[in-house]
């Protein structure tokens, strides 16, 4: 018998090498190489009937275009993140920290689908049937159409799918499932790749919506190779702090909708409850009359969200001041500080600057630049901003304030929450009807914005 060949595969990026290496040359990760037995599949070349396909190339003009039907759940936040509901035959990957609420969300979603006369198969490789039953009783999500299977062998799982013919499948989690033909351990690159390909084939051929739960690394990314994210149709991240009751569901990849949408939930004893007004939630504990606090109107997909930005500028005795930010790109903070030093004459070279987005939200659009500059200047001069002002706009390197998109939605959201004035770019005043009952102030430079906000 031939000696089985072994290889070392990186569990982070999938890089393969015949020898063990302490550091992966592909992703520069340390101690990520795991030994796997290489399986050789014999083929008969291109004339093999298994490699031939009956489908022929078709002109794109003759392909019928039809909108994908969607199944709406009772959770409007989940529907928004998915792009309008669950698409039959889609493969969805959900990742998040341990204990963040992934299983709770999927169990509640499964029950909501059974209420629409759909058959759901919940497959768990980490919990027993009694543990799932205890959670279901606590959440009050029991139904005759909800079937539970505790199995990790992918062949037995596929047999159960053929027997039950469900409309919706949940795999919790993909790192615990294994294929007996693969010699490596469950959770390895080979096992994850092979098992995901089987579930993808079932989802596409039978039109069954399938959800895969993925573990995450300590950096917050989904564990395993990035190939897993390329194979699925939608990648969702379930974020939030363990010590806070609020959770954020964010779409990173979505072939059937936008990737800029977020869903906000609150974790209660009875399960996850959707938050319909996130702006009011993020501003509920906002202090009044304190320097360094500014409210910004940010767009998360199609939804305007009002969030509080907090800045703290304090003197330092070290030659290199600290620049720390939470929820905003660190490089963006350094750029705005440089603009304030050069264009506004603020001497911040001996000042530590700290910036925080209240509520744990991550803001990545350039429209928050002006609010960051106002917060830093307010803390540096120790002058509080007006408590009923909303600020947004993009800042250029020459100190100008550039226009942003969807201004009318931001202003309407500020008016709905009782704000009295909005400071925005002068270039964004055209093309929309200004509502009554709220003051609109247009600015062209950062100097004008600070003069208006720090009066």
Per the annotation, binding residues are 96-103
- Whole-angstrom distance, CA of residue 212 vs CA of residue 293: 41
Starting from the edge strand earliest in sequence, which strands make up the sheet with 351-357, in order? 323-326, 351-357, 303-315, 293-300, 389-391, 421-425, 439-443
Do residues 422 and 385 lie in contact, with contact meaning Cβ atoms separated by under 8 Å? no
Rounded to 5 degrees, what angle do the CA atoms 202, 204, 208 make?
65
Q: Which two tokens stand for residue 28?
A: 């520069």
Numbered residues of the known binding site for ATP: 96-103
Residues 6 or more apart whose CB falls under 8 angstroms from that of 221 comprise 95
Q: Which of 280, 252, 254, 253 is nearest to 266 (CA)?
A: 280
- Whole-angstrom distance, CA of residue 135 vs CA of residue 157: 22
Please report how many Cα atoms fall inside a 13 Å half-sphere around the Cα of residue 284, on the Cβ side: 6
Do residues 445 and 453 lie in contact, with contact meaning Cβ atoms separated by under 8 Å? no
Q: Is 62 helix (H, G, I), strand (E, B) or coil?
A: helix
Residues 6 or more apart whose CB falls under 8 angstroms from that of 305 comprise 278, 279, 282, 297, 298, 299, 361, 413
Do residues 214 and 228 lie in contact, with contact meaning Cβ atoms separated by under 8 Å? yes
Do residues 296 and 395 lie in contact, with contact meaning Cβ atoms separated by under 8 Å? no
- Whole-angstrom distance, CA of residue 368 vs CA of residue 358: 14
On the 0-12 / 13-18 / 19+ scale of CB atoms within 10 A, 376 is buried
H or E, element range at 336? helix 330-344
User: DSSP character for 179?
Assistant: -
Residues 6 or more apart whose CB falls under 8 angstroms from that of 372 comprise 309, 311, 328, 332, 333, 336, 355
H or E, element range at 254? strand 246-254
β strands within 73-198, DSSP E: 91-96, 120-124, 146-150, 168-172
Q: How far is CA 177 from CA 9, 40, 150, 254, in A?
A: 18, 22, 11, 24
């Amino acid at each position: 018998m031939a000696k089985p060949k072994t290889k070392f595969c990186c569990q982070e990026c999938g890089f393969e090498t015949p020898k063990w290496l302490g550091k992966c040359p592909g992703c520069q990760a340390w101690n990520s190489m795991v030994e796997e037995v290489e399986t050789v599949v014999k083929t008969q070349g291109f004339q093999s009937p298994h490699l031939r396909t009956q489908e022929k190339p078709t002109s794109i003009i003759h392909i019928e275009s039809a909108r994908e039907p969607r199944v709406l759940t009772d959770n409007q936040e989940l529907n928004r993140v998915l792009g309008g509901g669950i698409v039959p035959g889609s493969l969805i990957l959900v990742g998040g920290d341990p204990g963040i609420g992934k299983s709770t969300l999927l169990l509640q979603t499964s029950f909501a689908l059974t209420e629409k006369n759909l058959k759901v198969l919940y497959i768990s490789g980490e919990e027993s049937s009694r543990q799932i039953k205890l959670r279901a009783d606590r959440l009050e999500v029991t139904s005759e159409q909800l079937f539970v299977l505790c199995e990790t062998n992918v062949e037995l799982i596929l047999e159960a799918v053929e027997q039950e013919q469900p409309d919706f499948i949940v795999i919790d989690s993909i790192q615990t499932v294994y294929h007996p033909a693969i010699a490596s351990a469950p959770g390895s690159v080979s096992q994850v790749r092979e098992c995901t390909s089987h579930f993808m084939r079932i989802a596409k051929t039978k039109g069954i919506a399938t959800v895969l739960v993925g573990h995450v690394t300590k950096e917050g990314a989904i564990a395993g190779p990035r190939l897993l994210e390329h194979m699925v149709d939608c990648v969702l991240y379930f974020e939030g702090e363990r010590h806070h009751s609020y959770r954020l569901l964010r779409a990173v990849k979505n072939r059937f909708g936008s990737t800029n949408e977020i869903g906000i939930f609150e974790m209660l004893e009875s399960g996850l409850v959707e938050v319909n007004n996130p702006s009011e939630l993020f501003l509920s504990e906002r202090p009044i009359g304190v320097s360094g606090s500014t409210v910004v109107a940010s767009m998360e997909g199609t939804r305007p969200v009002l969030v509080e930005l907090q800045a703290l500028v304090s003197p330092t005795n070290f030659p290199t001041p600290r620049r720390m930010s939470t929820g905003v790109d660190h490089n963006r903070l350094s750029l705005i500080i440089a603009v304030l030093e050069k264009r506004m004459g603020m001497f911040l070279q001996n000042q530590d600057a700290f910036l925080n987005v209240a509520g744990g939200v991550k803001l990545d659009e350039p429209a928050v630049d002006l609010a960051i500059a106002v917060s830093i200047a307010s803390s540096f001069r120790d002058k509080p901003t007006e408590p009923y002002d909303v600020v947004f706009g993009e800042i250029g390197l020459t100190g100008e304030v550039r226009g942003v998109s969807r201004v009318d939605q931001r202003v309407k959201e500020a008016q709905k929450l009782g704000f009295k004035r909005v400071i925005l770019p002068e270039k964004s005043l055209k093309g929309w009807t200004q509502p009554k009952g709220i003051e609109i102030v247009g600015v062209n430079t950062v100097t004008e914005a600070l003069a208006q906000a720090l009066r």
